[in-house]
Amino acid sequence: MTRRLLLAALANCAALRAQISMDNLRRQHPRLIALDPDIARIRKLIRTDPAAKSVYARLVAEADKIMAEPPVEYKLIGPRLLEKSRTALRRVYTLALIYRLDGERTILTRIVDELRAVSKFPDWNPSHFLDTAEMTHAFAIAYDWLYNVLSPEEREWIRKAIVEKGLDPALEIYENRRSWTRVSHNWNQVCNGGITLGALAIAEDEPARSESVMRSALESIPRAMRSYAPDGGWNEGPGYWHYATRYNVYFLAGLETALGTDFGLSQMKGFDKAGEFRVYFSSPAGKTFNYADASDALGPSEEMFWLARRFKEPVYAWQQAQLLAARPQAHALDLVWWPGITQSPQSADWPLHKFYEGVQTAFLRGSWTDANTMWVGVKGGDNKSNHAHLDLGSFVLDSQGVRWAMDFGPDDYNLPAYFGNRRWNYYRLRTESHNTVLIDNENQDPKGEAHLVVSDLKPEMARVTFDLSGAYPGKLARHERTVLFKERKTVTVRDEIDAPQPVEALWGMVTDAEVRLDGTRALLRKSGKALTARLVSPPDAKFETVPTQPPPPQNQNTGTRKLVVRLPGKVKRVKIEVEMSDGE
């Protein structure tokens, strides 16, 4: 960021802080996210809309299950209480919404039992502040949504827990301007979002604390929101897109309902395109391009309904509605933010292919309507990004409803120094486990970056080329990776490499398909489908497979292998070209 832009951003933060006033606070409860008119609207909705009725039925079934479960206990997993915080939060949203809709007194009792147990925890694990923020969020929603049916004594101890275990630890961090207040990744939005909801919930009783929290949060959160610029991408990958964006939305929605404004934050550059990015990183086979610490699972994301409403973009709502219809998961806020209209990308005339400048990632697809169409995601990016792997140039490939070229995603966060000095020792994070070219069996530079140099995104012939020379500075003079998508049915990956000294170059693609090799041809089979990979260049190379099992206790990657292109020796200049198409 230039000095001029930085000064402008800081000035904007100061202007936001100056606008905070408790005079604008909605005096009555509920004031957070779901107001009483929303409940009346949802009651009508589940009587008249079969899809909404189905979501409601799933939430009722989930509530019934929760009723039979004991409250969460204080138990760390590694350094984290996060699983317990998330369980409590999910229970509160589900039970509290069903109570507001149906008024069943036993549900209220169960929520209070959960809160009472958690209020007696020694702390909410502020050393890993995500845990504290999510638990504060849970208490904020319970306190606000149920305020009018809680006894004065219950309100008092819930409020006390929010202050002592949530706001006060956060204020210490805010006052010292450290930790998550200064970062631009998901920790910023989650911590600011959860704590701000806690402050808004009890603002009339704790005006000084609450105002201080909100002023600090408004100064901090633009740091993370600038990460969506210029076009909505998120460099932490699709899993953390969901985590960061949902909390960004909770934060903005809470401000809007409690104070009547989001202070213009939703207008920050790129945020309106965050939902578009999710649509594009989702494959027709129902998976994601799971770069960084992300799984390839594609589930519903309730914030897509809010984004659809806020930015009048019915395609966002279309994707969420499709996923809710196909997946068992649902969230209470799906009903709160239920859309008025939906529209498919096809009918909205969205282009088939898209490149995201901010994260240097491209998505190419054959169709918006055919679940069996070919689809590829390929990335340049920045190895310094939070949660990044050393994977510049990596790609994933789906076709016929099957993932052929895969990314393993993360390993166990509790492995020793997973986020520390052993991170690049773990197989799933190293370059060798990704679908790129491995040079001399070494990792890419952890500070490396790769940028797009060519983009030609015609429907029948799409091409992107990334400059990957920064992956191995000093070792490679030139490395360009081109992904060519021809006639919506063939993907070609071409690597052109020049090196000042001879290097070993190993092209690779991880798959969980069965692989049959025949020199320059590899036949992949999976789920009754077939894909053929043909080695076009160089003529003296051949396909092989190599194992993908690292030493324990790392994940053993059962059932996978890596298809590689083996050259006869070291090279100073080479073009490796592999063409992949459906069938035998």
pLDDT in tens, 318-349: 999 999 999 999 999 999 999 999 999 999 99
- Res 317: pLDDT: 98
Angle between helices 50-67 and 314-326 (to 10 degrees): 50
Q: Find out whether 465 and 488 touch, Cβ atoms under 8 Å.
A: no
Residue 343 counted as domain residue:
no
Task: Report the alpha-carbon angle 414-415-417, nearest 5.
Answer: 100
The answer on 408 and 305 residing in a single domain is: no
Give the whole-angstrom CA distance, residue 362 versus residue 466.
10
Domain count within the chain:
2
Residue type, 568: P
Structure tokens at 444: 């890419």
Closest CA relative to residue 229, chosen from 359, 420, 381, 399 = 359
Residue 345 in domain: no
What is the CB neighbour count within 10 angstroms for residue 6? 10
How is residue 542 written in tokens? 């051949």
Q: Looking at the domain assignment, is residue 33 inside a domain? A: yes
> What's the pLDDT score for residue 7?
46
Instruction: State the CB neighbour count (10 A cutoff) for residue 442.
Output: 15
Supply the pLDDT for residue 248.
Answer: 98
**Where a domain ends, among 336, 369, 397?**
336
Counting as low any pLDDT under 70, the low residues of the chain are: 1-19
Classify 188 in phi/psi space as left (phi over 0), alpha (psi -120 to 50) or beta: alpha
**Maximum separation of any 2 CA atoms in the chain, in Å:** 80
Does residue 85 contact residue 124 with C-beta atoms inside 8 Å? yes
Alpha-carbon 132 to chain mean position: 20
Cβ-based neighbours of 105, under 8 Å, separated by 6 or more: none
Q: Is the distance from CB of 209 to CB of 188 less than 8 angstroms? A: no
Same domain, yes or no: 99 and 247: yes
Measured distance CA(268)–CA(245) in Å, rounded: 13
Which domain range does residue 543 map to?
Answer: 354-582
Residues 109 and 235 both lie in one domain: yes
Q: Which residues contact 80 (CB under 8 A, 6 or more apart)?
A: 125, 128, 130, 131, 413
Beta strands in 237-356, from DSSP E residues, in sequence order: 354-356
Half-sphere exposure of 340 (CA within 13 A, CB side): 5
- The CATH number of whichever domain residue 107 belongs to comes to 1.50.10.100
Nearest to 93 by CA among 137, 39, 149, 159: 137
Q: What is the DSSP letter of 287?
A: B
315, amino acid identity = V
344 Rama sector, left if φ>0, alpha if ψ -120 to 50, beta otherwise:
beta
Neighbours of 77 (CB within 10 A): 11
Q: How far is CA 110 from CA 107, 154, 286, 417, in A?
A: 5, 13, 36, 39
How far apart, in whole angstroms, are the C-alpha atoms of residue 310 and residue 397? Answer: 33
Structure token digits, residue 417: 């120094």
Per the domain annotation, does 83 fall within a domain?
A: yes
117 & 217 share domain: yes
Q: At what angle do helices 207-225 and 186-201 cross, to 10 degrees?
A: 160
Say if residue 321 is in the same domain as residue 205.
yes
Report whether 94 contacts 62 (CB < 8 A).
yes
Amino acid 457 reads L
- Quote the CA–CA distance of 154 and 143 in Å, as a whole number: 9
* Residue (of 205, 200, 125) closest to 169 by Cα position: 125
pLDDT of residue 26: 96
Both 194 and 301 in a single domain?
yes
305: in domain: yes
Clarify whether residues 331 and 191 are in a common domain: yes
Q: What is the CATH number of the domain that holds 558?
A: 2.70.98.70
Torsion of CA 17, 18, 19, 22, to 10 degrees: 90
Look at residue 14 in the predicted model and tell me its pLDDT.
Answer: 53
φ, ψ (nearest 5 deg) of residue 582: -70, 150
Indicate whether 206 and 101 sit together in one domain: yes
| 234 and 264 share one domain | yes
- Same domain as 87, residue 32: yes
What is the tens place of the pLDDT at every residue in 143-172?
999 999 999 999 999 999 999 999 999 999
Same domain, 368 and 514: yes
In a domain, 341, yes or no: no
The set of residues, in sequence order, having a beta carbon less than 8 Å from that of 284 and lying 6+ positions away, is 365, 367, 370, 371, 372, 373, 375, 398, 401
Neighbours of 161 (CB within 10 A): 22
Examine residue 68 and state whether it is found in any structural domain, yes or no.
yes
* DSSP code, position 450: E
Task: Answer yes or no: is 347 within a domain.
Answer: no
| Residue 399 and residue 279 share a domain | no
Query: What does the buried/exposed string (b/e) look like for 94-112 if buried means 16 or more CB atoms within 10 Å of the residue's CB?
Result: bbbbbbbbeeeeebbebbb
Please, are residues 182 and 228 in contact by the beta-carbon 8 Å criterion?
A: no
The kind and range of the H/E element at 485 are strand 478-486
State the burial class of residue 200 (Cβ atoms within 10 Å of its Cβ: 0-12, 13-18, 19+): buried
